[in-house]
């Protein structure tokens, strides 16, 4: 046998077991035969499918279907599925009963004896039915009087006990009754005090009402002024509405945007200035540390001394050139003989001799 065949058989068996279990939970036994009977009711009182069918508490079947009678919608047809070995007489009555205080329903078969042959109702036939209330369902009709007598005796005993408890001053019931009496007296005194307070405050209430009347009268007299105020407020709101606030806000937004752009440009300029100052600081730091020609020129004292000495010598040379030009330039107009040079006269303010 192939694996696929085994899987198919196992699936079929599992499905059959599932269907049988589902029907079994509904009260149906697929391996036993049963008879179907129909009962017509005016009101099924919450009876549904799968409700039990019992005889003296023993289940003999279940309700298989509940539906309205097709030709008379005021009638309800209940379909009863009963074991085939249970013989149902034609005179049997299917009673809808309440089995619990939660309202659970069932069908109780009142057989009225046994049957045989043609006296038994055939499968598919109609039998009589009726609906019983909760008391009739749970208490047999012949026992109702007995239960009523027991309940009456119990209530009488309770009333006698309650009366004796009330007459006994030390009993909790008597104390409770006394407390209730005190509460009622206090309530009576409270209502009396409330009435007195209302009577004493009648004048004040009248004054309050008079003041309220005066206020309403003043408002009525000032109606014209109030209308003027409201009209002025309406006119002011109309002017605000007619004003081109949108354009003004647009211009203001444009101005703000322009100012924002200018601020951004200023920030960019400041950033550039900061960068330039940073570069200048870097250059000055290098100059101060003696880097480069300018740094050597500024920081080399010997170079400064030589420059100062050279400048002074140049000044002396120019001074002497100005005072005695013939020492440096020989000029002969007529080509004559040699002219004797004049002796050097030291100037008074010769810079060479000032220091």
At residue 80, the pLDDT reads: 92
- 116, part of any domain: yes
The pLDDT tens digits of the residues spanning 245-275 come to 666 677 777 778 777 778 888 888 888 888 8
- Spans of the chain, pLDDT less than 70: 1, 23-32, 134-151, 153-154, 156-158, 160, 165-166, 242-248, 290, 293-297, 300, 330-355
Residue 351: which residues within 8 A CB-CB, separation 6 or more?
A: 312, 315, 316, 319
pTM for the whole thing?
A: 0.37
At residue 40, the pLDDT reads: 94
Give the tokens for residue 62: 């279940």
Range of the domain at 84: 32-138
- 215, part of any domain: no
- 82, part of any domain: yes
Q: Is residue 110 classed as helix, strand or coil in its secondary structure? A: strand
At residue 146, the pLDDT reads: 59
Neighbours of 98 (CB within 10 A): 20
d(CA 271, CA 261): 15
d(CA 127, CA 92): 7
d(CA 308, CA 305): 5
- 296, part of any domain: no
At residue 108, the pLDDT reads: 92
Please name every residue paired with 40 in a beta bridge, in sequence order, or none if there are none: 77
Using alpha carbons, select from 87, 125, 124 the residue that is nearest to residue 109: 87
- Burial class of residue 53 in the structure, from the number of CB atoms within 10 Å of its CB (0-12 exposed, 13-18 middle, 19+ buried): buried
Give the tokens for residue 56: 């003296």
Query: What total number of domains does the chain contain?
Result: 1
- 20, part of any domain: no
At residue 174, the pLDDT reads: 73
- 86, part of any domain: yes
At residue 338, the pLDDT reads: 53
- 224, part of any domain: no
Strands (DSSP E) along 132-276, which ranges? none
- 167, part of any domain: no
């Amino acid at each position: 046998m192939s694996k696929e065949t085994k899987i198919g058989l196992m699936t079929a068996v599992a499905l059959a077991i599932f269907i049988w279990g589902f029907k079994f939970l509904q009260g149906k036994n697929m391996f036993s035969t049963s008879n179907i009977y129909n009962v017509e009711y005016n009101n099924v009182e919450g009876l549904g499918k799968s409700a039990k069918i019992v005889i003296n508490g023993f289940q003999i079947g279940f309700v298989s279907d509940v539906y309205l009678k097709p030709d008379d919608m005021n009638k309800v047809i209940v379909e009863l599925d009963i074991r085939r070995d249970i013989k149902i007489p034609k005179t049997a009555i299917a009673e809808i009963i309440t089995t619990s205080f939660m309202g659970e329903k069932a069908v109780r078969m009142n057989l009225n004896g046994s049957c045989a042959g043609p006296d038994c109702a055939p499968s598919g036939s109609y039998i009589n039915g009726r609906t019983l209330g909760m008391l009739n369902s749970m208490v047999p009709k012949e026992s109702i009087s007995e239960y009523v007598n027991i309940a009456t005796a119990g209530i009488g005993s309770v009333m006698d006990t309650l009366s004796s408890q009330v007459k006994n001053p030390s009993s909790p019931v008597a104390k409770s009754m006394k407390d209730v009496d005190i509460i009622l007296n206090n309530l009576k005194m409270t209502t009396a005090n409330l009435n007195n307070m209302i009577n004493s405050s009648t004048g004040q209430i009248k004054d309050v009402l008079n003041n309220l009347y005066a206020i309403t009268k003043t408002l009525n007299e000032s109606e014209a002024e109030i209308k003027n105020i409201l009209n002025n407020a309406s006119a002011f709101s109309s002017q605000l509405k007619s004003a081109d606030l949108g354009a003004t806000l647009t211009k203001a937004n444009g101005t703000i945007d322009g100012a924002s752009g200018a601020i951004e440009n200023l920030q960019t300029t400041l950033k550039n200035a900061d960068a330039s100052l940073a570069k200048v600081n870097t250059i000055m730091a290098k100059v101060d540390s003696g880097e480069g020609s300018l740094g050597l020129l500024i920081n080399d004292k010997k170079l400064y001394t030589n420059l100062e000495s050279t400048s002074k010598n140049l000044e002396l040379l120019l001074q002497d050139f100005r005072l005695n030009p013939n020492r440096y330039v020989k000029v002969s107009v007529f080509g004559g003989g040699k002219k004797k040079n004049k002796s050097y006269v030291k100037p008074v303010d010769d810079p060479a001799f000032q220091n």
